[in-house]
Structure 1
């Protein structure tokens, strides 16, 4: 799962989870290259997990 800072990026279809990927830059930066402050100040990383597991549905 792709994470920006402590936010799970679940609503964006992401093929490549890295800071300068086209999908992420398109979602967080404008055409002139100015990016949202949260995107500019936090790192992007892959984390291992199962989506929805903490929701309690599987218990």
Structure 2
């Protein structure tokens, strides 16, 4: 309720992005967007905002379309 009163409800506490309404319907108490939640709350907070466009280490580049 405090986040709602302060205007922070629906805003990711880690990166500041808007949390999609669909996620809030499923998890109304969530404080993170999907990207930050998947990155791990404890790690994301220590390292700062998550770059959602950055590929995880070890991922393969997309294949070229002939």
Which band: TM-score by shorter chain? under 0.3
| Larger-gyration structure (1/2) | 2
TM-score (norm 2): 0.24
Q: Greater strand share, 1 or 2? A: 1
TM-score (norm 1): 0.26
